[in-house]
Structure 1
Amino acid sequence: ISKNGQTREHALLAFTLGVRQLIVGVNKMDSSEPPYSEARFEEIKKEVSSYIKKIGYNPATVAFVPISGWHGDNMLEPSSNMPWFKGWKVERKEGNAEGKTLIEALDAILPPSRPTDKALRLPLQDVYKIGGIGTVPVGRVETGILKPGMLVTFAPANITTEVKSVEMHHEALA
């Protein structure tokens, strides 16, 4: 992998932000020399494994999938262009997982826990002012519970208001 590429930067950033599950899609396998080269995939897997281990990931918990986004190889279905690829495996205390495609690796990601017993924390992504409705803050509940009728305080402005409704993708919740 390139010393000035973004792979290292993205892996370090993900770890720093608390992302503990990782999938490495080795893309452009159709462009390797020769095309769909097992040796090139293994070389990249070895180098990336070494780097992610240094920043704190355990490579045994990471799915490495050789793919071609352009041709769709190993994206949704196993590719006949890479018969040498027997699949990926991840080992974790919550239960091991294995598969052959990127979609299977994505499906094997365990959803992070959102502690509902802690105080409400909802980092705001945006705020909309909608005529006839009012001010609509947008964000994701990281901890705690949000329900209509609750009094919430926004920091650092220290503004307290009542929650009128809670929606996700334009559908009412609670």
Structure 2
Amino acid sequence: MFSRVVVLGVALLFSPWASAQVFKCKGANGETVYSQDPCSAGAAPMKLRSNRASTESAGEAANRAAVYQTTELADAGIAERNCLSSEQNRIYGPVNARGQDASRQIASLNRQLAGARNNLAGATYASGLRAQIASLQQTQAADRHSADSQMAEARRRCGDARSERERATREKYSAGGK
């Protein structure tokens, strides 16, 4: 019984009803009892304290807004990095795979070139191999150049998206945007 009364008393102190009056009394056996009703004729209600102000000061509101703005600006930076990472994988992934395949072909052609005979037929064969190697290298260079151009455009798009998000965030938290 005693623990129930104490628990009820503590619950009353920290519950949403804490705005009601609470009286601290002594029970029949000397235990502390909390009640909404006065224990005796001269009983005075307890002064309850709240850990949190009921209203937010202007400084607290400004601090909260600054934290939210900083968080949203950081999120814009993270979104840009994610955008760039995604674009880099999308653009360079296939280029790198094709480049590895071309490198394997070039290595194979170089092995064949090393085994070419030192005669007219061998020279003609070696010339053909060198032409194939040059063609593969040109294709690799053109593929890389195209990917670099696509990535530059992706950087611009991701940067523009970040700038727009930052602009909207600053506008949202500026004095006129509240």
Q: TM-score, normalised by structure 1?
A: 0.21
More strand by share: 1
By relative contact order (CA 8 Å, sep 6+), the higher-ranking structure is 2
More helix by share: 2
